Amino acid sequence: MQIDIARRQLLTGAIALGIGASIGRVQAAQPESTAASLELAALPWDAAALAPVISAETISFHYGKHHKGYLDNLVKLIAGTALEGQPLDAIVKAAAGKPEQVAIFNNAAQVWNHDFYWNSLSPKGGGAPGAALRERIEAAFGSVAELRTAFLAASAAQFGSGWVWLAQERSGGKLAVLKTGNADTPLTSATHVPLAVLDVWEHAYYIDYRNRRADYAAAVFDKLLDWGFVERNLG
């Protein structure tokens, strides 16, 4: 009797091991997604690092809900299409201006714009730009103060949702302030290269500033704008 019990225990164990090994082989054989390159980029700083100008609560919703939501939508939209597996910037450019791909463009451009926005900010930002960049700013605007005035005016003038950009002309290299609505981006522009951006969608500031977009824009320009990022993007 004890021998029979022992045999049954050994047999049961062998079956269990066999099932486990089989499951392991099936899981290992699953193909990786061809859209795996589209991942939510990590923030360049801790979520609380921009406080009190931008709170950790705002970052948790803005990055964790809105930004991630655009990425999740994009992955679904391009699944099984020729755009699946393509780099994000290539997807934005390929979908731009095509009515049949407006949903893809909107979500892809919003992901790209948000990535650029996070990198435009730094907990050590604001203050004065370096000498070389300051010369470029003075040549285009007259002074850093006048750039600030133009940047804040553009943020106030953007009706509804959108973005305010510090950009550089592709021909001649002159600096400029641009504003774009909704998901539009200078990434697809034939005339300008983006250098830094301010998100003026309400979800970027409403938790911290309610409807005071002007206060949000001024605080970001004065305390968070990463001049080093601007310099690295200069041609």
Q: What is the pTM of this model?
A: 0.85
Whether the per-residue pLDDT at 12 is higher than 80: the answer is: no
In a domain, 24, yes or no: no
Q: Determine the average pLDDT of the residues in 1-23.
A: 36
CATH number at residue 166: 3.55.40.20
pLDDT, tens digit (0-9, with 9 covering 90-100), for 95-139:
999 999 999 999 999 999 999 999 999 999 999 999 999 999 999
Q: Are 234 and 207 in contact (CB under 8 A)?
A: no
Q: Which of 162, 37, 163 is nearest to 88 (CA)?
A: 37
Q: Determine the average pLDDT of the residues in 155-178.
A: 98
CA–CA distance, 74 with 103 (Å, rounded to integer):
8
Going through 71-215 in order, the beta strands assigned E by DSSP cover 162-169, 175-181, 192-199
In sequence order, what DSSP letters do the residues of 35-98 get, joined into one string?
TTT---PPPSS-TTTTTTTS-HHHHHHIIIIIIHHHHHHHHHHHTTSTTTT--HHHHHHHHTT-
Answer with the one of 88, 120, 152 that is the final residue of a domain: 120
Q: Are 198 and 189 in contact (CB under 8 A)?
A: no
* Residue 167 lies in domain: 131-233
At residue 14, the 3 state secondary structure works out as helix
At residue 19, the pLDDT reads: 29
How many other CB atoms are found less than 10 A from the CB of residue 219?
19
In a domain, 202, yes or no: yes
CA–CA distance, 199 with 217 (Å, rounded to integer):
9
pLDDT, tens digit (0-9, with 9 covering 90-100), for 22-52:
322 222 222 233 344 799 999 999 999 999 9
Q: Determine the average pLDDT of the residues in 82-102.
A: 98
Q: Within this chain, do residues 106 and 156 fall inside the same structural domain, yes or no?
A: no
Total structural domains within the chain = 2
Answer with the one of 71, 99, 120 that is the final residue of a domain: 120
Q: Determine the average pLDDT of the residues in 205-223.
A: 98
Answer with the one of 95, 120, 145 that is the final residue of a domain: 120
CATH number at residue 81: 1.10.287.990
Arithmetic mean of pLDDT over the chain: 88
**CA-CA-CA-CA torsion sign (72, 77, 82, 83):** negative
pLDDT class of 67 with cuts at 50, 70, 90: very high
At residue 134, the pLDDT reads: 98
Q: Within this chain, do residues 211 and 173 fall inside the same structural domain, yes or no?
A: yes
